[in-house]
Structure 1
Amino acid sequence: MSPLLLVLLGLLVLVLLRGRTRRVGEPPLITGWIPYLGKALEFRKDAHAFLEEQRRRHGDVFTVYIKGNYMTFIMNPLMYPNIIKHGRQLDFHKFTNVVAPYTFGYPPVDDVRFPGLGDKISSSFHLLQGSNLTLLTESMMANLMAVFRQDYLNEASDHWRTGLAYDFCTSVMFEATFLTMYGRPPSGWRHPGMGPMKDDFLRFDTMFPLLIAQTPLWLLGNTEATRLKLINHFLPQKMSQWSNRSKFIQQRAETFDQYDTLKDMDKAAHHFAILWAAVGNTAPATFWSMYYLMSHPEALQTVRQEIQDVLNQSGVQICCDRDIVLSRDQLDRLLYLESAINESLRLSTASMNIRVVEEDFHLRLDSERSVAVRKGDIIALYPQSVHMDPEVYEDPQSFRFDRFLVDGRERTDFYKDGQRLKFYLMPFGSGSTMCPGRHFAINEIKQFLCLLLVYFDLDLDHQQRTTLDCSRAGLGILQPTKDVHFRYRLRTATDHHSPPQTTTD
């Protein structure tokens, strides 16, 4: 017998001898037989299918051993409110304070060398909301318009151009978001080398699931070198030369400068982490919104007409040589567009809301039931199970652009077991840990789609379809398994004043 096989057998025996056993009052325990990995491979292959199978076997609450962690999944959305309101015994930050520094390459913010840093960083997120959201939205509109004007609005109106939809969305959103957050270079308005930087970003993002899982860097090829290249873009001496930085980034930079113990590379790594947070999920969310609209001509026509109506009501004349400005108030009036985006998020979101158990206790699930949980375990909500539940959403696999509208208003009444759900759509997390940039993200996607639909005729290559890549389940918006070709051309003045027509030639 080979030495390697002996080691593996030894590990298996060790796991079997020392493995965890279910205690009285605890949920059903699913461990698997692979040492350390447990059920990780099955979960990664198709998390939704795996969890639904466990629910059929074990009920709404069960514990799964996945890569060294015992994770208790709560599969009934009627139980979500009780889980989310727990603050003292269930902690979100303990998990992020470990995985984020490892993923992005900065020291933990709760390190004794940086007293108060975590609280100051958290307080900066209010600059993504309220009146500051208005300023960010206006800046994003201007930067999106500039990118579109420079790269895509300089062709003859009858000339079809071809592109890859995911690449198109990523290129535009990456540069416009970068400009909005971090500002413009000393000369001109475009940062040099933005294309190669985006490519490095995508290479890093490919490895993101493995970094979150804290896979040793030496196993990830050039990932550490790629991350270092990206971090170097945000060194303080470089950023100090950029103008029109967002208040959000400006305040964070000022906070970092208060700590002499924080190295320049550490500061830069924090800024890079925000870039990923701003683009990593927003780019694929933009793609899916664009893809589903192009795949459903009636939805595209309705949304395009709504955009044109809102602009016309403001006296805006639409033509290719005139820039469009959509205010935050106008974006809020685009109800069909917002419903279509929410429907795209429902179909493509596979995020996981997690909390770390702070002490052994009985977790109250509802008025009649509780389960025993252990300190150090993870409590997980998996919203995709709600988003794909036919009891909550009729025909859940289908894209219905007006699913979140009723009688011209936003629809918020969705039910499970005859009870109205408080949490029925959860692309941005839940409770106090909801993504602080969620309103900005929705506005970004709206702005991109507005410019795209107003200025261009669009034609998806219907011979090419794509599906969701389930390998990133648990981390946010799923990416497509492959990119898809599409055609686009400038719309004429006549197009802007007549019912939109889909292109089939």
Structure 2
Amino acid sequence: MWFFFFCSGRYITFIMDPFQYVYVIRNSKQLEFYEFADKMASRTFGYPSLSNFPKLNENLHRIYQYLQGKPLDIISDHMMKNLQHIFEWKCSQATDWKTEKMYKFCSFLMFEASFITLYGRDPAADGHNVISEIRDKFTKFDANFPYLVANIPIELLGVTKKVRQELIHHFLLRNMAKWMGGSEVIQARKDILEKYELLQDYDKAAHHLAFLWASVGNTIPATFWAMYYLLWHPEALAVVRDEIDHLLQSTGQKKGPGYCIHLTREQLDSLVYLESALNESLRMCSSSMNIRISLEDYILKLGGNQEVGLRKGDWIALYPQILHMDPEIYEDPEVYKFDRYIENGKKKTTFYKGGKKLKYFLMPFGSGISMCPGRFFAMNEMKLFLILFLAYFDVELVEKKPIGPDNSRMGLGILLPDSDIAFRYKIKSF
């Protein structure tokens, strides 16, 4: 099933049947994504189109190899160490119950740990204050991100242009040169951008801002939702906490302030209840729209002898949130079930609709050529955050109010919460 939507002289075809997704995803020659993404990113982050620079897009995408395989293990280890450092600092403030707002808490920890892991820090500066300043500016810019994507002129968005300029200034080469301990992926990006002499220093810095947004813009709200749903469902929290405790005990690791926790990729993957809880929260809060643009007048062949006529420049879209909330696939789809992705104590990877097995059943990271290249690192980041949080602290909600999504970002990734919620935590007794 599909339907058409007409907007500004352009037809958008929405494919509604998940069994037809594969026919869109595999037709990357006729249905392109990169030009569409380039135009959107260049106006949002303020750098010239990649099409003006031969092979720049191809070269930048090549460096995503540093977020897979052995390099992924290295950057995940660095993330774990940086998270532990920040959690240790938090522990010094939480000898008794400490109350905070949950989204603000997640934003502080995930932004700082991600920033240090990717970009490093200036050893001559007060790390917390400098990164907090960047985070505050980032938050202001991010608040108007949907309007920039929608092609609203930045001049109409108050201080957004000024804030974007200030953020970009942080990433000028002379400023980044002061930062120590950055990642291979950022160094590789710097090396590639420096080869393009026609790119101005400001433009190169704008590319780094875009990568920062790609790194934390969705991971922060996704971490919030994972934490929120666990705290809202005590039975889920207990099972996930027990699974983490068992892993740490079985590997001879002590938990709590002063002890270093190290987990391999295999050990992270063994936490099936933690991963299921994360996947369930992603199912409920992700709202990515997968867009493709027809490069020519084209008849898209679908399954069951169906077809869709596309004109050059027409859009075709997948909206996986419909898939995620389909009661034929997920029983009681509006209910959070932390063990939905577990079967007989193992990861469940088989789901059906109408008795037929689905190839795609969970798509929070996009699909095909538009799939998020940092998805493995993002999952590791969220797992590490929750492992350390539950290993260090006793925690409970202060407010018993349900939080809903802010639908202003519908189609753009992970939905933000419509409000924040208070919780409290203290160091566990060991």
1:130 maps to which residue?
69
**Corresponding residue for residue 460 of structure 1:** 397
- State how 1:387-426 maps to structure 2 within 5 Å: 387-426=324-363
Distance 1:185 1:419 in 2: 55
1:105 corresponds to: 46
Structure 2 matches for 1:107-186, cutoff 5 A? 107-111=48-52, 114-150=53-89, 152-155=90-93, 157=95, 159-186=96-123
Structure 2: gaps of 5 or more residues: none
- Unaligned runs of 5+ residues in structure 1 are 1-59, 494-505
Whole-angstrom CA distance in 2 between matches of 1:263 and 1:191: 30
TM-score between the two structures when normalised by the length of structure 1 = 0.83
What is the letter of the counterpart of residue 262 of structure 1?
A: L
Map 1:35-46 → 2, pairs under 5 A: none
Name the residue aligned to 1:81: 22
Paired AA for residue 194 in structure 1: I
Query: Is the counterpart of residue 449 in structure 1 residue 390 in structure 2?
Result: no
Tell me the amino acid that sits aligned with residue 48 of structure 2: P
Tell me if structure 1 keeps the 8 A contact 2:28–2:369.
Answer: no
State percent identity of aligned pairs.
48
Q: Of 423, 426, 429, which residue of structure 2 is paired with 1:489?
A: 426
* Aligned CA distance change for structure 1 residues 156 and 115 (closer, same or farther; 3 Å): closer
Query: SS in structure 2 opposite 1:319?
Result: coil
- Whole-Å separation in 1 of the counterparts to 2:208 and 2:247: 36
Task: Say which SS state the counterpart of residue 123 (structure 2) adopts.
Answer: coil
Q: 1:337 aligns with which of 268, 271, 274?
A: 274
Compared CA separation, residues 75 and 132, structure 1 to 2 (3 A): same
Q: d(CA) in 1 for partners of 2:385 and 2:126?
A: 19
1:414-467 CA-to-partner distances (Å, cap 9, x unmatched) read 111221111100000011321010000000000000111111111113432210
1:94, distance to aligned residue in structure 2 (A) = 1.6
Q: C-alpha distance in 2, partners of 1:69/1:462?
A: 46
Which protein shows a greater Rg? 1
CA distance in 1, matches of 2:183, 2:9: 40
Aligned to 2:160: 223
Q: Determine whether 1:440 maps to 2:377.
A: yes
Residues 264-285 of structure 1 show CA distances to partners (whole Å, capped at 9, x for unaligned) of: 1111000010100000000000
Deviations 1:387-437 (A, max 9, x none): 000000000000100100111211111111221111100000011321010
d(CA) in 1 for partners of 2:284, 2:269: 22
Task: Name the counterpart of 1:247.
Answer: 184
* Cα shift readout 1:222-262 (whole Å, capped 9, x = no counterpart): 11111011111111011122222111000110111111111
Q: Determine the C-alpha separation between the residues in 2 that align with 1:156 and 1:90.
A: 53
Corresponding residue SS for 1:184: coil
Judge conservation of contact 1:163–1:486 (CA < 8 Å) in 2.
yes
1:182-210 Cα offsets, whole Å, 9 max, x none, are: 01213378264222221111111111111
Change (3 A) 1:323 1:188: farther
Are the equivalent residues in 2 in contact too, given 1:464–1:485 (CA < 8 A)?
A: no
User: Could you list the per-position Cα deviations for residues 50-83 of structure 1 after superposition, in whole angstroms to 9, with x for gaps in the alignment?
Assistant: xxxxxxxxxx211112455421100110100111
Q: Secondary structure at the match of 2:244?
A: helix
1:317 is matched with: 254
- Cα distance change of structure 1 residues 81 and 474 upon mapping to structure 2, 3 Å threshold: same
How many angstroms apart in 1 are the aligned matches of 2:134 and 2:401? 28
Aligned to 1:286: 223
Alignment-mate amino acid for residue 221 of structure 2: P
Of structures 1 and 2, the one scoring higher in RCO (CA 8 A, sep 6+) is 2
CA distance in 2, matches of 1:196, 1:185: 13
**Is the 8 Å Cα contact of residues 276 and 338 (structure 2) preserved in structure 1?**
yes
**Residues 12-59 of structure 1: per-residue CA shift (max 9 Å, x gap):** xxxxxxxxxxxxxxxxxxxxxxxxxxxxxxxxxxxxxxxxxxxxxxxx
Instruction: State the TM-score, normalized to the length of structure 2.
Output: 0.97
SS in structure 2 of the partner of residue 476 of structure 1: strand
Residue 470 (structure 1) shift: 1.1
Distance 1:434 1:323 in 2: 34
Counterpart among 356, 361, 364 of residue 427 in structure 1: 364
| CA offset digits 1:337-390 (Å, max 9, x no partner) | 000000000000110001001111111121321111111111000000000000
Instruction: Sort the Cα spacing of 1:298 and 1:204 in 2 relative to 1 into closer, same or farther, 3 A.
Output: same
